[in-house]
């Protein structure tokens, strides 16, 4: 896995990484799905566009993950795979693959939102890494 779940007193978080910033965002998206749903039963059947804007990388990441959460809870889509196709300093666009949610897509936790609490994005020597906490 390209992410790990982080324990927190009242919330839950994750650390995700990738060889590029795009891959880090894709893996952060997968981590969010892993926390909210049981990903094993999700088939990447249909493409769904995802786009986000933000004043900086941190805001952009929060807004992207909020879009992922909107698909999961607002549009009732179970997402499985992500691809960031375009990434600029304040904009990102890509595609997520998944399928409409059904009883087969078991919820694990109800995620209320993506927070800025202890949010961190780092460019390390050989990878990008982020830490994100979710309001549950």
* 17-43 per-position pLDDT tens digit: 999 999 999 999 999 999 999 888 899
Domain extent for 104: 3-135
The pTM assigned to this predicted structure is 0.92
Please give the tally of structural domains in the chain.
1
Q: What local confidence, expressed as pLDDT, does residue 10 receive?
A: 65
**In Å, how far from its chain's centre is CA 136?**
15
* 86-126 per-position pLDDT tens digit: 999 999 999 999 999 998 888 888 999 999 999 999 999 99
CA distance 7 to 75: 28
Q: Which CATH number does the domain housing residue 119 bear?
A: 3.55.10.10
Q: Calculate what percentage of the chain has a pLDDT beyond 90.
A: 81
Q: Please measure the distance between the N-terminal and C-terminal CA atoms of the chain and give it in whole angstroms.
A: 22
CA distance 19 to 36: 25
């Amino acid at each position: 896995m390209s992410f790990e779940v982080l324990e927190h007193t009242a919330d839950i978080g994750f650390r995700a990484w990738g060889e590029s910033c795009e891959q880090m965002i894709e893996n952060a998206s997968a981590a969010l799905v892993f926390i909210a749903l049981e990903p094993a039963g999700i088939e990447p059947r249909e493409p769904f566009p995802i786009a986000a804007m933000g004043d900086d990388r941190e805001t952009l990441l929060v807004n992207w993950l909020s879009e992922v959460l909107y698909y999961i809870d607002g549009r009732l889509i179970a997402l499985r795979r992500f691809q960031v196709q375009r990434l600029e300093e304040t904009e990102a666009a890509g595609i997520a693959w998944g399928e409409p949610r059904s009883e087969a897509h078991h919820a694990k936790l109800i995620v209320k939102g993506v927070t800025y609490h202890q949010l961190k994005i780092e460019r390390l020597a050989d990878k990008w890494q982020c830490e994100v906490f979710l309001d549950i």
